[in-house]
Amino acid sequence: MMKLYPHKKTSIFPNPSSNRITFISTEHIKSYVIYDAMGKVVVKNSNSNNQVDISKLKSGMYFLILQSENGSKETLKFVKANG
Is 6 contained in some domain?
Answer: no
Is 9 contained in some domain?
Answer: no
pLDDT (mean) for 64-76: 92
| CATH assignment at residue 46 | 2.60.40.3080
CA 38/CA 65 separation, integer angstroms: 15
**Residue type present at position 62:** Y
What is the domain extent for residue 76? 20-80
Radius of gyration of the chain (CA): 12
Model pLDDT for residues 5-62, shown as the tens digit of each residue: 455 688 999 999 999 999 998 888 899 999 999 999 999 998 768 899 999 999 999 9
pTM of structure: 0.85
